[in-house]
């Protein structure tokens, strides 16, 4: 640790450009020690690195180097590295670890981390890991798995610091000092005050506890901001609550409202990060994905969305084929028609992204849905008109036909208003019927803007120009 501090201290400005990035040279130095099988030097180079950085390193090197490094590193392998590792290569790494190393690694972790690692493993690796756990940990993992995936019950840690309502500051401090280290969470920032039925009634921060007189009642020190989380609540909603209400930790309760665990903000932050990643990738038509996935896995992940896109593209082509007569007579139509579709597609994607994001942050609700839809259509109308004028002029200059300019202008306005309507309406409808709007909106919206764009442009052209 002291190495880290010294380094940050010595050159605080050089690391501006790529703060927190493991240098190419560091990676090369580590791989060199693996190459020459210099175990001591490897351990020396890895020692100052945080588990999260070691995990990043393992993700960035190739499979062959990864296996050699892990074998050479041996029993130095820390449980936290597994915890930080991308799910994509966790299976691989678990299967590389000697059973004893794995057992050792698991023993150091908090219950929530063990569960987190366990639930993402494939069956074979799950069996390996269950074998490596001691009885207590195995019971914890099995209990956690009884809660739904992505629920607060899976996210929470079981180690909780609680105190009855009638306790004073002195009683709480004495209790804390008397509790053995192993029964306390790794880190904790609050004491949860509970009533006789174990229902949480409030939080007391350690700072307040430490500064108060010994005879003060805990209930007199409780925080303003307090949120109780049911064990079945979706982890995305949990992350939202932490961010919305600036929580540091929150008690988790079972269906009877009894305290069964606690979620801390660092876990909530990790969930927020994952949810964002999911949204951003889903919007682009990529399922789960990571840089350490192999070619075949990546190909499979990308394929479904491309298949959907092929269907919508064929649908658009069928619209075009209805106007073969017009296209055969006026080639300019073929030249200009992608512009109308493309502008609609872009405007639709803009509206849709804002809507998906607003739904995720719970800013788009029953109270403002119609105002937002109206706004998006109006924005489409205004921008559509501006670009219609520009394209109308381009059409006249390029092809010398005012009628053609007029047709493309009108089609553009129509398509961009529809883009605003579809871009907002489709995600809202999907959300209402319980489909993730990030996942499915894109396909629907571009289908609408393609079909409407080609139909409006070619249809008007056929009516006006032929």
Residues 11-70 that bind a copy of itself (CB under 8 A): 12-13, 16, 18-24, 27-28, 50, 52-53, 56, 59-62
Stretch that binds a copy of itself, among 69-77, 120-128, 129-137, 230-238 (CB under 8 A): 230-238
- 268/63 Cα distance (integer angstroms): 31
295-315 burial, b at 16+ Cβ within 10 Å, e below that, comes to eeeeeebeeebeebeeebeee
Min CB(135)–a copy of itself separation in Å: 27
Min CB(123)–a copy of itself separation in Å: 27
Which tokens sit at 217? 């009642």
Interaction residues for a copy of itself, span 166-185 (CB under 8 A): 173, 176-177, 181, 184
The nearer residue to a copy of itself, 132 or 344, going by C-beta atoms, is 344
Min CB(214)–a copy of itself separation in Å: 11
Phi-psi domain of 247 (left: phi exceeds 0; alpha: psi -120 through 50; beta: other): beta
Question: Should residue 146 be labelled a site residue for a copy of itself when binding is judged by CB under 8 A?
Answer: no
Interface with a copy of itself (CB under 8 A), residue from 70, 105, 218, 320: 320
- Going 277 to 278 to 283 to 286, the CA torsion angle's sign is positive
Question: Should residue 370 be labelled a site residue for a copy of itself when binding is judged by CB under 8 A?
Answer: no
The nearer residue to a copy of itself, 124 or 311, going by C-beta atoms, is 311
Contacts from 198-207 at CB under 8 Å and sequence distance 24+?
198/162, 198/258, 198/259, 199/253, 199/257, 199/258, 199/259, 200/162, 200/226, 200/228, 200/251, 200/253, 200/259, 201/165, 202/226, 203/249, 203/251, 204/163, 204/172, 205/248
Strands (E), 195-299: 200-205, 229-230, 249-253, 259-264
Stretch that binds a copy of itself, among 41-49, 122-130, 138-146, 200-208 (CB under 8 A): 200-208
| Structure-token match 């190393």, residue found | 101
The nearer residue to a copy of itself, 123 or 370, going by C-beta atoms, is 370
Which tokens sit at 331? 């080639």
Q: How many other C-beta atoms can be found within 10 angstroms of the C-beta atom of residue 68? A: 16
The nearer residue to a copy of itself, 69 or 358, going by C-beta atoms, is 358
Min CB(402)–a copy of itself separation in Å: 18
CA-based radius of gyration for the chain: 29
The nearer residue to a copy of itself, 128 or 289, going by C-beta atoms, is 289
Interface with a copy of itself (CB under 8 A), residue from 72, 145, 206, 429: 206
Min CB(211)–a copy of itself separation in Å: 6
Interaction residues for a copy of itself, span 440-459 (CB under 8 A): 450, 454
Min CB(266)–a copy of itself separation in Å: 5
Please provide residue 374's backbone torsions phi and psi, each rounded to the nearest 5 degrees.
Answer: -60, -40
Interface with a copy of itself (CB under 8 A), residue from 70, 140, 352, 445: 352
- 132/112 Cα distance (integer angstroms): 17
Question: Should residue 234 be labelled a site residue for a copy of itself when binding is judged by CB under 8 A?
Answer: yes
Question: Should residue 280 be labelled a site residue for a copy of itself when binding is judged by CB under 8 A?
Answer: yes
Interface with a copy of itself (CB under 8 A), residue from 124, 220, 378, 463: 378
- 245/283 Cα distance (integer angstroms): 27
């Amino acid at each position: 640790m002291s190495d880290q501090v010294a380094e940050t201290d010595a050159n605080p400005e050089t690391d501006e450009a790529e703060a927190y990035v493991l240098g190419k040279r560091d990676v090369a130095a580590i791989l060199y020690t693996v190459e020459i099988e210099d175990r001591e030097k490897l351990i020396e180079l890895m020692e100052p690195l945080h588990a999260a950085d070691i995990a990043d390193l393992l993700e960035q090197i190739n499979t062959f180097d990864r296996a050699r490094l892990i074998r050479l590193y041996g029993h130095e392998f820390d449980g936290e590295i597994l915890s930080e590792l991308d799910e994509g290569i966790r299976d691989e790494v678990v299967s590389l670890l000697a059973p004893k190393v794995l057992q050792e690694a698991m023993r150091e972790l908090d219950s929530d981390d063990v569960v987190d690692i366990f639930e993402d493993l494939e069956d074979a690796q799950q069996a390996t890991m269950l074998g490596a756990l001691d009885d207590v940990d195995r019971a914890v993992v099995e209990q956690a798995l009884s809660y739904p995936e992505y629920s607060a019950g899976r996210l929470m840690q079981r180690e909780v610091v609680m105190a009855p309502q009638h306790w004073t500051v002195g009683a709480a401090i004495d209790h804390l000092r008397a509790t053995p280290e192993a029964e306390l969470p790794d880190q904790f920032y609050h004491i949860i005050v509970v009533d006789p039925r174990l229902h949480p009634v409030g939080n007391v921060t350690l700072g307040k506890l430490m500064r108060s007189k010994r005879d003060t009642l805990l209930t007199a020190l409780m925080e303003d901001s307090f949120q109780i989380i049911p064990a079945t609540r979706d982890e995305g909603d949990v992350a939202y609550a932490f961010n919305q209400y600036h929580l540091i930790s929150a008690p988790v309760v079972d269906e009877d409202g009894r305290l069964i665990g606690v979620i801390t903000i660092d876990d909530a932050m990790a969930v927020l990060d994952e949810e964002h990643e999911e949204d951003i990738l889903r919007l682009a038509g990529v399922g789960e994905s990571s840089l350490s996935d192999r070619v075949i896995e990546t190909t499979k992940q990308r394929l479904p969305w491309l298949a959907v896109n092929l269907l919508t593209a064929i649908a658009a082509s069928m619209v075009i084929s209805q106007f073969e007569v017009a296209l055969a007579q006026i080639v300019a139509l073929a030249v200009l028609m992608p512009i109308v579709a493309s502008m609609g597609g872009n405007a639709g994607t803009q509206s849709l992204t804002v809507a998906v994001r607003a739904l995720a942050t719970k800013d788009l609700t029953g109270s403002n849905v119609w105002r937002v839809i109206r706004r998006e259509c109006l924005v489409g109308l205004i921008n559509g008109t501006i670009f219609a004028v520009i394209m109308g002029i381009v059409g006249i200059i390029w092809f010398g036909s005012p009628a053609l300019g007029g047709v493309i202008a009108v089609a553009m306005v129509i398509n961009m208003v529809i883009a605003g309507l579809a871009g907002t309406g489709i995600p809202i409808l999907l959300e209402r019927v319980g489909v993730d709007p990030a996942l499915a909106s894109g396909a629907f919206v571009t289908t609408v803007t393609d079909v409407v764009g080609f139909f409006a442009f070619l249809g008007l052209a056929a009516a006006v120009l032929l």
